[in-house]
Amino acid sequence: MYHNPVLLNECIDGLAIDPKGIYVDVTFGGGGHSLQILNKLTSGKLYAFDQDEDATGNIIEDDRFVFIRQNFRYLINFLKLHNAVPVNGILADLGVSSYQIDNAERGFSTRFSGVMDMRMNKNLGVTATTVLNEYSEDKLISIFSGYGEIRNSKKLASTIVNKRKINNISSIDEFKKVITNCVHKGKENKYYARVFQALRIEVNDELGALKDLLEQSVKALKGGGRMVVISYHSLEDRLVKNFFKSGNFKGNIEKDFYGNPIVPFKIISRKPLIPGEEEISTNSRARSARLRIAEKVNV
């Protein structure tokens, strides 16, 4: 196991586990959350999704456990394939795992001198190198401003385009040198983190996959079933918050003929749950974590 699970107790409490129920961990990773769910089950079943082949090294040998090596955006198709719909609960721990960040070859971290890869599924065609060297300047501006919320995204995109006319950008060190003049002094780490976040989201279509997951969760969950989602930046958290509140990504609640709100979920946690100082001190990844919990409304 390489996964130090974030907000573990809060997630398990949030799922309100029925020992005989069916549960889904859509972000298996190192298996930390999954193992704890299994500990709560008797005759129940746990289905775990992960698109990263490295996660297969952590598969739990248990008759109640089924591993599905797929992106969670295909949730409903594969649950139906296993005759596992509806389920009692879904857990999602979004973003990139500590193991992926600490693996220099994956290209997720600014700390290493590796290739600009950033694929969570190594079979994907587009890498961060592809984005930097082939995307149009306008597309780069859109990615950096939209996914990284970077204020000088125009300058950043222009700098990248001018550099690649001379030589392709391939390594992390090279990329950091290229954009040195765009970085705000004293805030280098924060700037690089936002740039890398933007590239990672684009390479893996993370927000598109999250939208697919949230929409499918309504069909996958039985009435009274719980969904718990940990997000790590405002773009993810906003999508989760709005969808739990309204069933759409704008957060606009529609009403029926009688004026009653049409919503698929009852929100269990009005405000997101956040880790305490003790957890943050032992797991720095937890610092930006936000956990939201919702229960599917009985129709």
* Of 150, 155, 152, 229, residue with least CA distance to 197: 150
Which domain-ending residue is among 153, 176, 204? Answer: 204
| Number of other CB atoms surrounding residue 223 within 10 Å | 10
Residue 26 forms part of a structural domain: yes
Which domain-ending residue is among 162, 180, 204? Answer: 204
Give the CA distances from residue 93 to residues 15, 218, 291, in Å, rounded to whole numbers and listed in that order: 13, 18, 9
Residue 270 forms part of a structural domain: yes
pLDDT digits (tens, 9 = 90+) for 142-170: 999 999 999 999 999 999 999 999 999 98
Q: How much is the pTM?
A: 0.93
Q: Answer yes or no: do 94 and 217 share one domain.
A: yes
Question: Is 80 in contact with 47 (CB distance < 8 Å)?
Answer: no
Quote the number of domains for the chain: 2
**Domain containing residue 89:** 8-98+206-296
pLDDT digits (tens, 9 = 90+) for 170-183: 899 999 999 999 99
pLDDT digits (tens, 9 = 90+) for 82-119: 999 999 999 999 976 655 665 655 755 666 678 899 99
Q: Answer yes or no: do 195 and 259 share one domain.
A: no
Radius of gyration of the chain (CA): 20
- Residue 20 maps to which CATH number? 3.40.50.150
pLDDT digits (tens, 9 = 90+) for 51-89: 988 889 999 999 999 999 999 999 999 999 999 999 999
Q: Answer yes or no: do 114 and 235 share one domain.
A: no
What pLDDT is attached to residue 111? Answer: 64
